[in-house]
Amino acid sequence: MIEMKEFISQSIKTESLRTLKKLIAIPSFNTTNGNERAFPPFGKGIDQALKEVLTVCDKIGMDTFYDPEGFYGFAEYGDGAETVGVLCHLDVVPEGDTKKWDSDPFEAVERDGAVYGRGTQDDKGPTVAALYGLKALIDSDETFTKKVRFIFGTDEETLWRCMKMYKEHEAVPDMGFVPDGTFPLTYAEKALLQVKLTGPGAAKMEIQCGKSPNVVPDTAEYICGNVENLSTIFDYMSIPYSIQGEKVTVHGKSVHASQAQDGKNAIALLAKGLVGFQPHPAVSFIGEKIGQETNGRTLFGEVKDEVSGELTLNVGTLEINSNYSEITLDIRIPVTQDKELIVERLIEASALYGLEYKEYDYLPSLHVPLESELIQTLLSIYRDKTGDQSEPTTSGGATYARSMPNMVAFGAHFPGSKSLAHQENEHIDLDDFYKSMSIYAETIYRLACQD
């Protein structure tokens, strides 16, 4: 293990925590329903978070830029022919069920050695850790031989239009990392395919469940005129539910869609119970072709590879009203598998139920060879700083790393720590927060301060 200087001082810790709390207090989730023609394109909260972090960067001594259209911002420090990029995002998912939070999701609360609030893990906490890792180097008067550019995205939780706009107008870094994953690092990410399946409405059926394709829904509500009969079916099928008047609520467990196997999909459970009780093409498709499967085996057969494992499938939302029905699916495809084969089988299966396929979003997979210089450098930094010899991992999650060449996701989640991204009571342990900051300081030092 290499003996290294510790750049993170107590003043850096104090200041970084203050900044994190300011950012958590900003409810920076998309409020424009995808209307990027609005200004700000994704809502005032996201724009406020972007401006706040650029103000922090300016105080640190970085040169800052705010996209006049509000899609992105960046801040840079140092000089050199090459640029090290740090790609972060400031948007978050909505708070979810506030009754399940022990404190206000948009008020950073310290308790039991952790900070609670939406975005503490994904991705405001890691963003601040990386940013103050850089500040620690600046305060130490280190000499930079490369330029460091922090790129702040605003649309990561939806369609990545911020990265598209950035690449159309700005220079792409030569190398870098994304503090939006797991240590030691993620060298392969599955392709992300999100689709909508639309079909007929229903005169006597109204359902609106789920909030986002990339979240496993923990509740699904249905207004039923015959609660007693439906509850009998749910009891027989061991479907967890509660009743309030004519409203039946099915209960599941929410996790990020990339880890759907660790959750319990409330929409799929509701569909399972409704297939025979209140038939509808959308309900029948979910109940018969997906159910509680998270690998899509009934729909696609076995889809997996040695690099990134099995396909992951999530039913994110279901809407049925008098005019139409719509299902959104989130599919994570192994890095060596064929997207077109998945699409072909999905179109064939959904057509049998009178549902029409429409692609909503697609991000190709990422696979950086383990022997690459970037991976070997980051891996050695992590191991030198922690003594942990864990191997690099693959992921079903989609990070900005796949948006630019020579990038990988690098922390800030540590092996063995609880992942709470997109969940209630999201929080980050302060020890992990400061430890990741130290790793990022060393990383920027080795990548941008050493020839």
Residue 158: pLDDT band by 50, 70, 90 thresholds? confident
What pLDDT, on a 0 to 100 scale, did the predictor assign at position 309? 94
Q: What does the DSSP assignment read for 324-365?
A: EEEEEEEEEE-TTS-HHHHHHHHHHHHHTTT-EEEEEEEE--
Q: How many helices (H) and strands (E) does the chain have?
A: 11, 24
Classify the C-alpha dihedral 313-183-150-29 as positive or negative.
positive
Question: pLDDT tens across 108-125, in order?
Answer: 999 999 999 999 999 999
At residue 33, does pLDDT exceed 90?
no
Rg of the Cα atoms in the chain: 23
Which of 256, 278, 282 lies closest to 268, judged by CA? 282
Question: What tokens does 294 get?
Answer: 């998270």
Domain ranges in the chain are 10-190+366-448, 191-363
Q: Is the dihedral of CA 293, 294, 296, 301 positive or negative?
A: negative
Read off the pLDDT of each residue in 324-340 and give the average, rounded to a whole number.
Answer: 97
**What are the DSSP calls for 146-203, one per residue?**
SEEEEEEES-TTTT-HHHHHHHHHSPPPSEEEESSEESS-EEEE-EEEEEEEEEE--T
Rounded mean pLDDT, 330-349: 97
Residues 6+ apart with CB under 8 A from 204: none
Fold exhibited by the domain 191-363? Alpha-Beta Plaits (3.30.70)
Predicted structure pTM score? 0.85
pLDDT score of 170 more than 80: yes
Tallying the residues shown for the chain, one arrives at 451
- In degrees and rounded to multiples of 5, residue 226 shows phi and psi of -135, 70
Q: Percentage of the chain surpassing pLDDT 70? A: 98
Fold match, 10-190+366-448 / 191-363: no
Question: Which one of the listed residues 156, 157, 326, 432 is annotated catalytic?
Answer: 156
Catalytic residue among 36, 67, 91, 326: 91
**Structural fold of domain 10-190+366-448:** Aminopeptidase (3.40.630)
Helix (H, G, I), strand (E, B) or coil at 235: helix
| Nearest to 23, CA basis, from 93, 120, 100, 97 | 120
Which helix (H) or strand (E) segment is 248 a member of?
strand 247-251
- Phi/psi region, residue 65 (left: phi>0; alpha: psi -120 to 50; beta: rest), is beta
- For the question of residue 104 being annotated catalytic, the response is no
pLDDT at 2 (0 to 100): 56
Angle at alpha carbon of residue 92, lines to 86 and 97, rounded to 5°: 155
* Catalytic residue flag (residue 156): yes
Structure confidence by residue, pLDDT tens digits, 72-98: 999 999 999 999 999 999 999 999 889
